[in-house]
Structure 1
């Protein structure tokens, strides 16, 4: 093996480790929430912020750290990201109060955002253009492996140990990966530092914009459209957005290079990525409620069923990455979005009287569609931007993904809860009775229909990217 061959796979292993740990951590935490709530003696409205604050932190900082990796180099961002992630994990495990745990999750989110922001850029920097699809496809498989392993590992840890250990397992792996980054991430093209200054004003405005957007969208069903908190955060988001656009246009070294908006193959894939994850998370958010209430499945059975989309993501992602190297992104991404739409359409006709097989093939379609889409889409984005802006592009893709997830969950929660409350004369899902099954299914169908509409829009946006020039 040549030194260059060994180097690129060493970098791949480091990136895969960071991606696996960040996705594993998020899926493990979801499993442990009931145990945290009981142990810390708090309520569901408080404990949900353990998940929400992590998402807010990661989404708000991805572009900032993507840009920082272009300026300071990928190596210091990667190594520092894993270091902060390890420290945050330690404090999460040590938490004795809900507030301490939430603050520790902010620290963990800062580290995770650094890792996520520079990881795709590191892959594109290390691999030649003809191998990028395959490499990013394998990264898609790593994401799926982390999401799939999380519930299983979390269940074992919670059965034999206690919830702090879901955070403690990050520490030894993180230390080894950070040390590995110090020695491996040298002499990688695009990973070296530049002398450009950081756009601190743009970074602050972006953090305010994305944080306020996520907060008002996730709390929309709780606050209501005409509430003062909703109007405050919506206005804050709009003002920060305007300020960010003005600042970026004037800055000599912007956080987000507005010139990238002139690249069709950047703009449309980023937009469609957000739409895809919004449609996907309509399914991911709603299915556990369907399996728990009308179907009456146990938590363990529900967890095993929900692994299915991620299993297909695990096996199909490398294939779609390799197909990109031959076919390009548009055909694969349109196909992937269409398969996701078929999954949502089929779920509209699901009924609790049907067997498990009827559930499995429907949600399997969602995993297949997502797998066909993600790797080619990411490769197209990362391959069309200049070398010095790959960190920005990497952060933009990850930010779009996270915002899409939030939008999907927020819209699904809003449509389902408002429909169910109206049909049951004000009852909530917490007071579910068997007699409410018809009302649940009507609300579920309406929510899936919203997902279908999202995916149809996504097909149009995906097709609008046009054909790419293969290098």
Structure 2
């Protein structure tokens, strides 16, 4: 019996790999189908994009709620129920007769997604020895990259041949397979339900409102007319709701947002570095397709192949960096990754059409290496400094900061680029290059700042397990 306790089944880890794979596979698959969905329902693209945007909004707002809840009633139960919920509403997405019902099904699908995302790393952390944490989280991170590669490529083929509804039927098959595997592989340890009596209802509402308003507001910055007004109103709501949330959480016995976790220097440094890392690493995602297709004249297919170098590099590095962090710690890897990311962003700013087209692969691959080198060691550092009874809350915060970083990076690059390009057309190559260079170099400076923050974490003792 003691041997079994020290050597838990690897089936748990393999089952957990469904979570990060499905998240990126589903996102890539659906993104490819947005133009087709818009045409079928006679909708504008700005309305059809809510099929993907509302999922990110809902999952970000709900993750910490389910993370805290899982700490009370059991992670395995919430995780498995999450895949069941995803399966049901993914199937209903495929039968949606109109755009509003499709968007509603995506919101309900995100409820299941939040259950899964809030618990994957927590289960991996508590199920295996600390000496294996980096390696295990590295394997989970590599599945993010695999899903990023598989989603758009398979989605393009499936939607082109059979239509967008079949894409949802395919994701239903994947999610139901995940439900079946996790049902048998992941232990459902029952915890006391006493914590439900003290569930932080006020904190849950305020947190969801704050995150929803923040993401909606930041995403809408730079919009025109009613969209700009709605974005500003959302940010005002966030400015009121978030301080009220902090006031409520300091008094709650079981807070949804556990502010006490940030008193740990390693955890708070890892969270801060994560926001900056994802903001800077995803800031080029809006600008690069315009450069590849508009400035260099590449076809969408060719541009997509170039952009694949990012997730490929990440898939290769994530398992290796996770394993290495178990030996040398997370700090040197996180610092090196953010420095490499900053250098790649500087290189993006130096690109010109006169250079060979393949040269863009170098900074793209370097950024993928950087994210692969950063993600699992940084997550391992954060999770290693969360008490066992709060692993769900810790996981949800780690995952949330990735979403917030991506949203802020894309919003910053879009807004800054739009302001710099004022009065110029996208076809103006010189104006495009000068504007993009400024965006890239500001992002590079932020990446170097993130490296400094990562260097401050030190190696204090982990909390008692």
What is the TM-score when the length of structure 2 is the normalising length? 0.94
Q: Which residue of 2 aligns with 1:69?
A: 70
For residues 281-430 of structure 1, what are the structure 2 equivalents within 5 Å?
A: 281-422=282-423, 424=424, 427=425
Distance in 2, Cα, partners of 1:403 & 1:311: 23
Contact kept in structure 1, 2:80 and 2:183, CA below 8 Å: yes
- Which residue of 425, 432, 446 maps to 1:440? 432
Q: Which residue of 1 aligns with 2:238?
A: 237
Q: Which residue of 1 aligns with 2:160?
A: 159
Contact kept in structure 2, 1:224 and 1:230, CA below 8 Å: no
Distance in 1, Cα, partners of 2:142 & 2:225: 39
Mean CA deviation greater in 37-46 or 375-384? 37-46
Distance in 1, Cα, partners of 2:415 & 2:173: 41
Distance in 2, Cα, partners of 1:170 & 1:230: 32
Contact kept in structure 2, 1:340 and 1:369, CA below 8 Å: yes
Distance in 2, Cα, partners of 1:40 & 1:452: 41
Where 1:348 maps in the other structure, the secondary structure is helix
Distance in 2, Cα, partners of 1:344 & 1:289: 16
Judging changes above 3 Å, is the alpha-carbon distance between structure 1 residues 403 and 409 closer, same or farther for their aligned structure 2 residues? same
For residues 64-103 of structure 1, what are the structure 2 equivalents within 5 Å?
A: 64-103=65-104
2:458 pairs with 1:462: no
Query: What is the CA distance between 1:39 and its match in structure 2?
Result: 2.1
Contact kept in structure 2, 1:328 and 1:470, CA below 8 Å: no
Query: Residues 367-401 of structure 1: CA distance to partner in whole angstroms, max 9, x if unpaired?
Result: 00111111000001111111001100000000000
Gaps in structure 1 of 5+ consecutive residues: none
Query: What is the CA distance between 1:230 and its match in structure 2?
Result: 3.8
Gaps in structure 2 of 5+ consecutive residues: none
Distance in 2, Cα, partners of 1:139 & 1:229: 37
Where 1:222 maps in the other structure, the secondary structure is coil
Mean CA deviation greater in 194-203 or 438-447? 194-203
Query: What is the CA distance between 1:22 and its match in structure 2?
Result: 1.4
What is the TM-score when the length of structure 1 is the normalising length? 0.93
Distance in 2, Cα, partners of 1:24 & 1:126: 26
Contact kept in structure 1, 2:75 and 2:188, CA below 8 Å: no
Judging changes above 3 Å, is the alpha-carbon distance between structure 1 residues 96 and 225 closer, same or farther for their aligned structure 2 residues? closer
Distance in 2, Cα, partners of 1:126 & 1:293: 49
Q: Which residue of 2 aligns with 1:35?
A: 36
Query: What is the CA distance between 1:324 and its match in structure 2?
Result: 0.4
Where 1:318 maps in the other structure, the secondary structure is helix
For residues 101-120 of structure 1, what are the structure 2 equivalents within 5 Å?
A: 101-120=102-121
Query: Residues 285-314 of structure 1: CA distance to partner in whole angstroms, max 9, x if unpaired?
Result: 221121121111111111111111100100
Distance in 1, Cα, partners of 2:59 & 2:402: 11
Mean CA deviation greater in 329-338 or 445-454? 445-454
Where 2:10 maps in the other structure, the secondary structure is helix
Contact kept in structure 1, 2:342 and 2:444, CA below 8 Å: yes
Contact kept in structure 2, 1:70 and 1:193, CA below 8 Å: no
2:258 pairs with 1:266: no
Query: Residues 5-52 of structure 1: CA distance to partner in whole angstroms, max 9, x if unpaired?
Result: 885311112210122111100111222222222222211211121121
Q: Which residue of 1 aligns with 2:171?
A: 170
Judging changes above 3 Å, is the alpha-carbon distance between structure 1 residues 131 and 24 closer, same or farther for their aligned structure 2 residues? same
Mean CA deviation greater in 191-200 or 72-81? 191-200
Contact kept in structure 1, 2:21 and 2:147, CA below 8 Å: yes
Distance in 2, Cα, partners of 1:375 & 1:224: 42
Contact kept in structure 2, 1:7 and 1:184, CA below 8 Å: no
Q: Which residue of 2 aligns with 1:200?
A: 201
Mean CA deviation greater in 80-89 or 178-187? 178-187
Query: What is the CA distance between 1:228 and its match in structure 2?
Result: 4.2
Query: Residues 121-166 of structure 1: CA distance to partner in whole angstroms, max 9, x if unpaired?
Result: 0100111111111110111111111111111111221232111122
Distance in 2, Cα, partners of 1:76 & 1:382: 20
Distance in 2, Cα, partners of 1:127 & 1:14: 14
Contact kept in structure 1, 2:386 and 2:462, CA below 8 Å: no
Q: Which residue of 1 aligns with 2:213?
A: 212
Distance in 1, Cα, partners of 2:191 & 2:308: 39
Contact kept in structure 2, 1:313 and 1:370, CA below 8 Å: yes
* Aligned residues: CA RMSD: 2.0
Query: What is the CA distance between 1:174 and its match in structure 2?
Result: 2.1
